[in-house]
Each structure stands twice: as C-alpha cells, then as structure tokens.
Structure 1
C-alpha cells in the first residue's frame, strides 16, 4: 500500500477470484437394474428452484426400432423433481404418474406407428431404458432441447438364477422357466392370443416370482400348425401332463394363464382336463373362438368373425369390437365352453373398455353360468377404463397394435392411467390366486 493511499481508492486493488459454484444436474432411478415388473423411483437433482424441464425415456428394441416418451416437470423450491411426488404438466401424459415415462413409451415419429414394445430375447440381455433431462418444455414430437443429465436403466425379464429349458417333448413345444432354488414350485402354463409363436416374457417374470412356468405356443412356431384352423385339446393335455410330472413342479395339479384366444383355451383346459385346477382368463371369451377345438369325439365349433362388421377409425385403425359372432346368441350355443363342469377355480381379468371384443360381457356370462349351477369357484376382476391386452406391470399402454394375422392396426381400447393401473393390480392378484390354488 502506498503511504496514506489505499489501492482500492486508486483502482489498483482487485478482489481475489472465487469461482461460482453450480450444482451438476443428475437423474437417479431405483432400482437402476431390476425386474421389468418393478416400479422405478425416478428423481432429478441439482436444478434451479422452479426450473422447468422435460424428462424423456428412450428404448431401442431388438429390431432397432426407437420408442420414446416425454413429460414436463417443474422443480420444487430446492431444485429437485420426484416423480413419486410431482405431477407432469404436459407431454405424453399429465398428472401424478410415477411410472408414466414407461407406461407411455410408443414408437417415435420416425418409426412405423402401432408397433408393440415387447421383449423377445429374454435371457440374452436386459431391456435398456435411457432417461434424459432436457432444458425447458420439449415438444414430444419435435427436436429435443439440450440434455443436462442422462441415465441408463436395466429392465430384467428374468431374475438371477432363473433357468430356461427349450422343449421338444413329444408334440409339446415351448420354453419351461424354472425359478432359482431346489423347488418344487407351483406349475403354470402360459399362453397368448392370435399373434401365435412363442411369447416368453410373462413366463420368465412368473419364474422370477416363484412359479415353474411353461410358455406354450400352439401355432406358428416350429412344426406346429402355421395358422388357426383347428386345435386338438390333446396337445394342451400333453403339456399339462408334462408339467405335472416334472420333478421341479409341485402337484397334484397345475394352473394356466391365457390372454385373448389363449384365455378361451385356458377355460377349455380347466373344464376338460383334470390336471388343470386353476385358470386365469385375461380378456377372453366364454366360447371357443376362431377355430374348431377337438377333444376325442367332442367338437366345439369356433365362433367366426364377420369382416363386414369391421369399422375403420381415424388413422386407418381397424375396430373389430363387434366382428365376432355373438357367443350369447342361442344359434351359437354349441361353441359355449361348459365351464360349470370344471372342478377347479377361475380368475377372470377384463377391461371394461376392451374394444378388441366384449370381454367384460363374456366374463360376466361365464360367471352367470357358474352361479346358475350354484358354484362359487370364481373371482372376477373388472377394470373401468382398461383395454384389451392386460400385461405385467410397467408394460407400455398400447391403444392400437398391428395384428400379425391381418397385418393392420387393431384397436384395443382403454386409457393410459386406468389400463396401467389394471396391469399393476391384476398382476399381484393373479400370483396370489395361483399360489392359493396350487399350493
């Protein structure tokens, strides 16, 4: 300092440099690696108070198709967003939907619409979901803004230790999934609808929850019939006998889960096959549909579709909700499955907004038939606002999807929040039902 004069006074003094500290934006998810039917706890940390951001989820499926979702959030006074606490203000959904980013995953604008996000190769690799944080409110269909944080999350379809055994046992084809441990375990046959082929993701998740689960294809797979022309219940009987006698399966009986066409096959199995003691019918019909069903000398005709009753809605989506012949018409009585003859237990799972067909009406008809015979061996789960295909939890909602047989998008119905609630609620109740009646 000059004598009598301060450096500050003559402009030569500079304060020491102190770098400004800014928090890094981070996104967290728990569990970062977990089963695909588990909820995620997603948080964003390090934002400015009340900062507006967009969160996106991005998945590339095994065919290289891109799926994404987007929602707008506002940070709290401390600069944090918690999807279990904070509502979305726009994007692909609004309101408090902690799993909305997964529920609303759909094909990106550059992909063909109406494709379903479905895991094919269960054990090779997990499904990778990338979570991204963008500045501001991003148009879900526009060019995303700057990314300030990202995180990759693994969604597993089989718990560690789950084993898959590919079957070629007599006529039976498919995959048997066994839980980790010594067993024995309750046994379940798992079937889907008219897409055909081998669908494994539900069976692998069931095995992860303690069931010996047989993913059973019944057409359009290996040397099975290429299409739905006629079926023989003896094939399904052989599968049930295989499962009953397996050393890792706890008898004396097994259960069956079916969706769509697989659901009416499940009803026929519990009605006619003594090995099947519990059946879960998801979005099914009370009659045999689509193809004749033979069992010895018994024949159940298959209800037909009248394509003249098919409507085409906006976006060239086909509405087949009234195309199926009415199973409650006396003229079609020969196709009705005589469920009142079954000694086992039924669980009917339906969405009241199913626009594939009137599954809630059909389930009620089956329940009425049981009650008329004084039976109480059933539970009916009927979900307002849910559509046709009710999958395990966290599966994306799909209002319409390409039908493998017709090659066109088919309307499934439902509303995102109600449908995904049905998936969460019914999944646990299905497991409880099967454990109760198989142990």
Structure 2
C-alpha cells in the first residue's frame, strides 16, 4: 500500500484556518521526515522539516504524533507553517497580493536522514486570503488610498480601519482575512504608496478623519462608529484617532506606544511632537542585528511628556495586545501608562493581554514569527524578539481575541468560526 496524504480541508482553505494532516499507508512505526515549503510573490523560498514516527498501524496524524526534531518538536499540527524559515536570512514572510493564494508543498520522505531519504508521497495545499464571497474594492476617493474588504451578504457590516507600522505601503492581508469573519475592513495606507508622501515627516490626522467619514458613508458599513486596529506606528496613530476624532467605537492596539512617534502629528490647531529617540543607545547582537528597544525617550520625563497622546479625550473601549519580548519598544510599559492615564481621566480600564515569549510582530495565525528582518525604511536588520513556539501560540490567541473584542463592541455578536473554502 502506497503512502498517501489526507488533508482536511482538502486542497485549500483560508490562511488563518487550521488544516489536519494525516499520512496513511506507512509501515508500522516507520521513521519519516515531513518537509514543507512555499515561495512568496518575489520568489523567496521558505522551508521547514520535522522528523516523525508512524504509529503501530502505519499512520501519521500530526494532531497526535509528536515531532521528534527538526524545525519544531512536540505535537504541533500547524508547525509545518509557523516554523517555515527563509532560505535567505532576514526575509519576512508577507502576503503582498491577497488575490492569489500561497501554495504550500508537502513531502514525506523515508527515514530521518535529511535530504537522502526516498520520497514516499507529496501534496500541495492552497492557503487563501479571500474567503468565499469576500469582495475587494480599491479606494481612491479624495486623499484616501486604501482597499476595502466586504464580507458576503447584504450587510451592513461592522466597520474597521486597519493600520500597519513604519514600513509604509498598503498591507492588505490582515484586513482581507478579517473580512472573512464578518467585518467590513479598510486597509489604509498613509505613506510610501502611490501619491502619498514617501517619508514620514509630518502626519495630518485630517487624512485619517477622511477615511473614517468615507467608511461611515458606505452603505455596507454599519454605524454609528468604526473600530480601529493598529500595529506599531499604526497603533499610536489609532490611539490618536480614538482620542481626537469622533465616531470611534472600539480600538485594538498591537505593540503600540502611548506617545506619538517618528513624526509630529498635526490636527487642526494642535501639534503633538514626536517622542524622539537617541540612536546611540541601540545595541548590536553578535549577528549584527540592531536591538532598538532602549533608544526611545521616556514619555514620562520632561520634555517628552508633550508627545503623550491626549487620552483625556479618548473614546473607549480599548484592547492592548503586547508581546513581553517586544524589542522594538517596551509596548507593555506603554500599555500600562495608557491604562493609568485613561483611568485617571475617568475612562474605563482598558483590557491588556500580554504574551510571554512574544516579540514585536504579531500577525494572524500560522505566519512564521518574524524575530528579525531588514526594515523596509531603515534598510538594516532589526531584532524584533520572541521565541518561535510561544510567539506562534500568541498569533492564534490574539487573532481570536481581536475578533471577539470587535464583535462584542461593534456588532454584539460572538466571534465567528473561520470561513470554509
């Protein structure tokens, strides 16, 4: 009997959906090596492998069998994805075109002898970023440069504006996946995209206010307010939006700062200065990676207090998601400062979820944790922190927490299951 893969769901599913992998037709207790690989849109190769042993019936079920070594160990049904490592160092796995899937190649080889074993069986699995019926609509209205993702159905749907960090560009993969869970999500660019500024020198909150208005004028978006989801620099922008703009109903911040960072923020007659930093305070690892956590000025000290976002005007509720090993900045420290200031001004205490062993880049489930990569703007290798296994678990839990929070505060619905392909 030849060895065969059984995949459930078979063939394809959404990226954030788990898949069950079973290999049948092996010899009893046969040692085998499972290899997985994919190429991104730029051709970069990512690979993982793990050594297993079939059970007494000649079956290998990744939900029951522990990996004995390789890229991961223990019972890790999705390790073949989250443990993928780039062939070229410091390359981060990102999805640039959500209209096409990642194609994952799976192979099982006889024995534990690295590349030398005999190929026993192979399969491919497509991991999609648009659930069935999700619509992708480019937005070029007024100054706004964005992409709107709408769930299937008549709607209206609870709306979310999604902001990424200081690498710039238009990142759509988180928004496209969230739309598969019942949200209308606007992936919003704010620099380094089309006719937007190439560099962050001054930021005007009126641009983001225009995006809020655009969302709430859309017939498929349910009011009276929108939710905000921001990562890194996008997080402190979302905190500023929730504090200074109207019609913000709920805000999730992923490894964000309590102060305005990188560039002065303008809104009407107000200017919030940049927190600022001292690059001389960085450290360098033996491999030449920069650890920049300590370069930022302390917002609790003068004269940097002026950069703290005016939380006395904030509209809650807030959810802070933080990695305890965030090496880009001490986001847990900032989250607790925000909590104290919000409560001091009579606001509700925000929810803070802190993940041990987790670094700066918290993505949707099954993305390989990005512990270090070349920053798109800085152009050098940055160390982001985190331990792969703990970080991968944080991805899964944080994704569920985000959905639960927004369904509660934007639509009063419980979190939905991932959409089936």
Q: TM-score range by the shorter chain?
A: over 0.9
Give the corresponding residue for 1:20. none
Give the corresponding residue for 1:372. 344
Give the corresponding residue for 2:161. 189
Contact 1:344 1:377 (C-alpha < 8 Å) held by counterparts: no
Aligned length: 410
Runs of 4+ with >4 A deviation: none
Decide whether aligned partners of structure 1 residues 144 and 307 sit closer, same or farther in structure 2, where only a CA change above 3 A counts.
farther
Kindly indicate whether residue 107 of structure 2 is the aligned counterpart of residue 135 of structure 1. no
| TM-fit CA distance, 1:330 | 3.2
Q: 2:7 aligns with which of 29, 32, 43?
A: 29
| TM-fit CA distance, 1:94 | 1.1
Give the corresponding residue for 1:44. 23
State how 1:351-366 maps to structure 2 within 5 Å.
Answer: 351-366=323-338
Q: Secondary structure at the match of 1:330?
A: coil
Tell me the alpha carbon deviations over residues 110-129 of structure 1, each in whole angstroms, 9 at most, x when there is no partner: xx211111111111x21100
Kindly indicate whether residue 72 of structure 2 is the aligned counterpart of residue 100 of structure 1. no
| TM-fit CA distance, 1:314 | 2.4
- Say which one has the larger Rg: 1
Q: Secondary structure at the match of 2:362?
A: coil
Q: Secondary structure at the match of 1:322?
A: helix
1: CA distance, partners of 2:306 / 2:66: 51
Q: Secondary structure at the match of 1:49?
A: coil
Give the corresponding residue for 1:19. none
Tell me the alpha carbon deviations over residues 303-358 of structure 1, each in whole angstroms, 9 at most, x when there is no partner: 22321112211222111111122223232100001223213211100010111111
2: CA distance, partners of 1:80 / 1:195: 45
| TM-fit CA distance, 1:377 | 4.8
Contact 1:179 1:211 (C-alpha < 8 Å) held by counterparts: yes
Give the corresponding residue for 2:67. 88
Q: Secondary structure at the match of 1:333?
A: helix
State how 1:123-272 maps to structure 2 within 5 Å.
Answer: 123=99, 125-139=100-114, 143=115, 145-272=117-244
Decide whether aligned partners of structure 1 residues 242 and 133 sit closer, same or farther in structure 2, where only a CA change above 3 A counts.
same
Give the corresponding residue for 1:63. 42
2: CA distance, partners of 1:136 / 1:321: 44
1: CA distance, partners of 2:104 / 2:12: 10
2: CA distance, partners of 1:275 / 1:137: 58
| TM-fit CA distance, 1:409 | 1.4
Q: 2:276 aligns with which of 295, 304, 311?
A: 304
Kindly indicate whether residue 93 of structure 2 is the aligned counterpart of residue 117 of structure 1. yes
Structure 2 segments unaligned to the other structure (5+ residues): 412-421
Kindly indicate whether residue 315 of structure 2 is the aligned counterpart of residue 339 of structure 1. no
Instruction: Using the TM superposition, name which of 247-256 and 43-52 deviates more.
Output: 43-52
Give the corresponding residue for 1:14. none
Q: Secondary structure at the match of 2:186?
A: strand
1: CA distance, partners of 2:275 / 2:40: 35
Contact 2:316 2:347 (C-alpha < 8 Å) held by counterparts: no
| TM-fit CA distance, 1:167 | 1.0
2: CA distance, partners of 1:337 / 1:245: 27
Could you say what the CA RMSD is over the residues aligned between the two structures, in angstroms?
Answer: 1.2
